[in-house]
Chains A and B, each alone.
Chain A
Amino acid sequence: MAVPTDVIPRRPTLLFIVVLSLLFVLMSFSSQTRYIGETRTMFERTVMTIFSPVPKFVNWIGRTAQDMHHGYVDMRGAVNENVQLKRKVATLTGENLRLRQSDGDVRRLRGLLSYAERFEMETSMAQTIMLDTSGRFKSIIIDRGSTDGVEVNDVVANANGLVGRVVLTTRDLSKVQLITDSNCSVGALVERTRRQGIVRGEGGAAVELYDIPALADVQPGDRVLTAGIDGIYPRGIPIGTVVTAEPGQSLFKEIVVRPAADFRSIEEVIVIHTRKIPPGVVRYAP
């Protein structure tokens, strides 16, 4: 059914154009700040702060449901026993389950702690509450924010290796750019030959190691570590393992690296509070 065109307002079209222009400016500004690694726009932080209770609540619900599920499993095992034995078995089963769970947690946390002790810098533990690896922009949200001392450009790792760096903080949450993000670059070196290059995310599951000359000795299986030359990532954190190292069409090799950290199952992470290079030094131009 058609509606007469004279009653359809024209001003919304003007508003639409204005809104799109403003959003385009906002995006351009945002795309520039991404590269220099500085804090994101105030507006982005505000929106994230306003809506941060939602993912936190969902996370809490998930944990509670998991606890309830464990309790239910414990109860079902006890129903088939006699009253006295049931209580005993329920207690022991519950205790056993908790111990097993604790044992796993302790082992995992011990691994993380011993890893964290390797760093001279101050570190803190955080838990992942959101993981966005669907598109080419890959990030996680962790449950530590500026009140816990987390700052932009703090480095995030787990027991397996490098995860990424903090790009935005609110009071109680932080956004971490993963090394597989298409805008992420890390100064790296091959552990065996100490050859330095740059690891860049490609938006996929693997990352690529650039700027390695075609004649350099790099072979599949070589471990790649952070080189500590980019002013953000400290030296010596495992990035991954070389999967393929082919001679490229130019002067450099084409090297694909499989990240050491498994980004599909990140739970606890270590936030390394690195020493920041003052902006004056970064921007200094004689």
Chain B
Amino acid sequence: MRWLRFSIGLLIALTLHSLLDSFYPNALAFFNPYVILVAYYSMGGNILGAIVAGVLAGFVQDAFSNAMFGLHAFSLTVCAYVIAYINARLMLRGTLAFGACLGGAVIVNEIVIYVLVNILVRQRVEMFEQALLIKTVFTLLFGMLVYQLLVLFLREEPIDATRRQTTW
């Protein structure tokens, strides 16, 4: 069931991606729906599930962008792992905790991409700090809004929150 919900979330993220591309091609410079999905899923604390979610969401984002294939999968997997690892030890719940995890995920995601682009393509990313700030703020605002809507209307906590997986 949780994978079904994740798949639906992934389809919504891709729909949002292509929908915004039609109206405003620079939308992904302001916020990243895939990070929100991965952060939300990883809040459950299931490390294995979070890794798989990060890889899947990243591959979808890679397929529809012109970045090196695997770049976003790599960065989202790192974000997913870090969030799930922290949540496997500390029960972080609530909007503020989600906001903190999401903000951290956006920053980690952008820094990992920055480092990888520098290593593999040897290119300088211009206006990195400004882009990071804008993306963090907008993703945080949008992500917390989505989180609030899920809590209010679906009475939904992060996927798998109550069923912490300790072995696999």
Contacts and interface: CB of A to CB of B under 8 A. Distances in A.
Given A9-B167, A203-B126, A19 B77 contact: yes
A24 B62 CA distance: 14
Contacts of B48: 9, 12, 15
Contact of A135 (B19, B67, B77): B67
A58 B63 CA distance: 17
Q: Which of A20, A31, A62 counts the most chain B CB atoms within 10 A?
A: A31
Contacts of B166: 7-9
B25 A51 contact: no
Interface string B66-80: 111111011001100
A28 interface: yes
Interface string B42-60: 0000011001000100111
A68 B90 CA distance: 50
Contacts of B167: 9
Contact of A28 (B26, B120, B126): B120
Interface string A161-205: 000000100000001011001110000000000000000000110
B47 A9 contact: yes
A9 B18 contact: no
B3 interface: no
Given A1-B91, A9-B47, A55 B74 contact: no
Interface string A34-55: 1000001101100110010011
Contacts of A263: 25
Contacts of A34: 68
A131 B62 contact: no
Contacts of A51: 14, 60, 63-64
A253 interface: no
A255 to B, nearest CB: 19
Contacts of B126: 203-204
Contacts of A62: 19, 22
Nearest 10 interchain pairs by C-beta: A139-B66, A55-B18, A12-B47, A26-B70, A137-B66, A134-B29, A134-B28, A27-B70, A30-B69, A47-B63
A97 B51 CA distance: 52
Interface in A115-160: 129-139, 141
Interface string B115-127: 0110011010110
* Residue of A9, A13, A59 with most chain B CB atoms under a 10 A cut-off: A9
A27 B18 contact: no
Contact of B66 (A24, A43, A181): A181
Interface string B6-22: 00000100110011011
Interface residues of A, number: 58
Contacts of B28: 132, 134-135
A183 B121 contact: yes
A3 interface: yes
Given A2-B89, A8-B88, A16-B47, A30 B68 contact: yes
Interface string B124-168: 011000000000000000000000000000000000000010111
A138 B26 CA distance: 10
Contact of A130 (B22, B78, B89): B22
Contacts of A137: 65-67
Kindly name the residue among A133, A134, A137, A264 whose own CB sees the greatest number of chain B CB atoms within 10 A: A134
A283 interface: no
Given A2-B90, A23-B73, A41-B69, A132 B64 contact: yes
B40 interface: no
B21 to A, nearest CB: 5
B125 to A, nearest CB: 7
B64 A48 contact: yes
B70 A11 contact: no
B120 A31 contact: yes
